[in-house]
Amino acid sequence: MTKQRKKADERKRSPSTRRTTRPGRPVFKRVCVLTGGGDAPGLNAVLRAFVKTCEPLGIEVWGSEDGFEGLIQPGRLVQLSRASVRGILPKGGSILGCSNRANPFAYPVVDKRGHETAVDVSDDVIGRVKKHQFDALVLVGGDGTMRHAAAFTQRGLAVIGVPKTIDNDLVGTDYSFGYDTALGTATWAIDALHSTAEAHDRIMIVEVMGRYAGWIALGSGVAGGADVILMPEIPYDLERVVAKLRARSEHGSTFSIVVVGEGALPKGGARSTVARARKGQLERLGGAGEFLAEQLKKRIPHDIRVTVLGHLQRGGSPTAFDRLLGTRLGVRAARCCEHGDTGVMVALHGQDIVTVPLAETMRSPKRVDPNGELAEAARNIGIELGG
């Protein structure tokens, strides 16, 4: 780590959240870790590294099953050891399980009439942390989990965050583990669809994940040789897309590949959703590919098919990059427990693993710059971005 990076790292740490310890004696002796939100390749790498680093330090590690569920419902806490994490490095998912419904500040509860309501059970979580004498919580997750981490920090709990999201939209870290694997999966799918698109003279629309950020769409589209890439950051002009596809046909190309981020939307239009947002739950995106296909069918006499990759992008064995990143983040989180550094998220800055204040992760999500280098590179090689 460079001297400049070390100084920057120290400036980012709040003195009120840093404790000192004598050599060989960790500040925190008993901690709880959970994997919140959706699953992502690399979660097990984090857990493995965290446990293997904590155990020799004399730090007892417990895990909360299915995200915060283990800290809300009784009987859902398990002790983790080297034996618990043996052999999990190449596995996808999480040995603790994940949940994007177990929101402690808006927990879904069904009343006697069968109606579901959202209830704040954060006091129960705090009570369970104190009951089990956990010195700190290590929360592995995306923007939602980091918001919970910041909120619990404000309420007096010692919290350490670890960034996880395939969308790569979390502020405070250059990359989140899970993104590289999802990007590779999406690129593989585009490669596979090239051959069938060419064989049948089709326009193939590939809908990828990413929510309101276009990192997966732009990255996989460029890497997979797409002809059109549509992403949330650039509301698209349908006529530009039509013009691109017609031009390819006129120049002898009998097929085209169109990559669409699930959060993409037309100029003056709305995003495609399958469920509205409600208390404690974000809206569910879906249908952007089908919507585009219906619009194109009205304008282009071409066979058009849609492939929605969906949760394929979340699954599978993590890439070497995600295993390495997850391992490094897990080790740093354990060291934070050793030294009592809380109210922080471990992060990748350049080549270094550092800590940043949890408050910094509350800024606007990290989005693709429509005029940035990668977007310009796509345009320079002839890819239509819709705007």
What are the residue numbers of the active site? 167
List the structure tokens of 383.
Answer: 């890819």
Look at the chain and count its residues. Answer: 387
CA distance 31 to 54: 10
Distance from chain centroid for Cα 278: 21
CA-based nearest residue to 96, from 114, 71, 116, 115: 71
User: Which residues are CB-neighbours of 240 under 8 A, at least 6 positions away?
Assistant: 384, 386, 387
CA distance 241 to 224: 18
Residue 30 phi, psi (nearest 5):
-145, 115
**To 10 degrees, the CA torsion angle through 142, 144, 150, 153?**
-100
CB 181 within 8 A of CB 336: no
Strand pairing category for 256-261 and 202-208:
parallel
Distance from chain centroid for Cα 39: 8
Bin 36: left if φ > 0, else alpha if -120 < ψ < 50, else beta: beta
Residue type, 267: K
User: Which residues are CB-neighbours of 98 under 8 A, at least 6 positions away?
Assistant: 35, 36, 37, 38, 39, 43, 66, 67
Residue type, 237: D
**How far lies 113's CA from each of 73, 103, 296, in Å?**
22, 22, 45
Residue 317 phi, psi (nearest 5):
-70, 135
Burial of 3 (0-12, 13-18, 19+ CB in 10 A): exposed
